[in-house]
Amino acid sequence: MALLPIESYVPHRDPMLLIHRLLDAGPLHAVAEVTVPADGLFVHDGRVPGWVGIEYMAQTIAAWSGARDLAEGREPRQGMLLGTRRYHAAVSDFVPGMVLRVEAHQEFVADNGLGMFDCRILQQDTELATARLSVFVPEAGTSLLKGVSP
């Protein structure tokens, strides 16, 4: 599978686009890469707080969903992070220049768009963070914010 620039898969744009590359996407998984920035929205005292890992995981799931949509001839849809369970970070923050591998494995996605993913963040072979994320991706053509005008 030839991979496109990350913007092809996710609705996020600067400064909220935090993942840099989609490395792999299959029916039940996605792998993305993040190079921790030296400056940006979440950099504090020269480091990115460990809790930002939740957003790295969520954007990896968004890229997985976008890759599936494109493969099925649809535009990538917006989704929502509903929550996280058991986020555990072995580090308090991420250091600029670190190259992180973010993995998301689908546990289930229901017909109504609700899904659960088991995720982890690694630096080389060292596991830095793990979590289970709950997400919602509505059917194509359905607005996340019904009745809200721009």
* Residue 7 forms part of a structural domain: no
* Residue 24 forms part of a structural domain: yes
What pLDDT does 128 receive?
Answer: 98
* Residue 45 forms part of a structural domain: yes
Is the Cβ–Cβ distance between 23 and 3 less than 8 Å? yes
Where on the phi/psi map is residue 113: left (φ > 0), alpha (ψ -120 to 50), or beta?
Answer: left
* Residue 66 forms part of a structural domain: yes
Q: What is the mean pLDDT of residues 35-52?
A: 96
Q: For residue 94, what are the domain limits?
A: 18-136
* Residue 37 forms part of a structural domain: yes
- pLDDT value at 131 more than 60: yes
More confident residue, 122 or 139: 122
What pLDDT does 143 receive?
Answer: 57
* Residue 56 forms part of a structural domain: yes
* Residue 4 forms part of a structural domain: no
38: domain CATH number is 3.10.129.10
Q: What pLDDT, in 10s, does the model give residues 53-78?
A: 999 999 999 999 999 999 999 999 99
Angle formed at CA 142 by CA 21 and CA 145, multiple of 5 degrees: 85
* Residue 58 forms part of a structural domain: yes
Task: Give the Cα separation of 50 and 116 in Å (integer).
Answer: 21
- pLDDT value at 150 more than 80: no
> Which residue from 98, 34, 97 is spatially nearest to 63, judged by alpha carbons?
34
User: pLDDT band at 1, cuts 50/70/90?
Assistant: low
Q: How many domains does the chain have?
A: 1
Q: What pLDDT, in 10s, does the model give residues 76-85?
A: 999 999 999 9
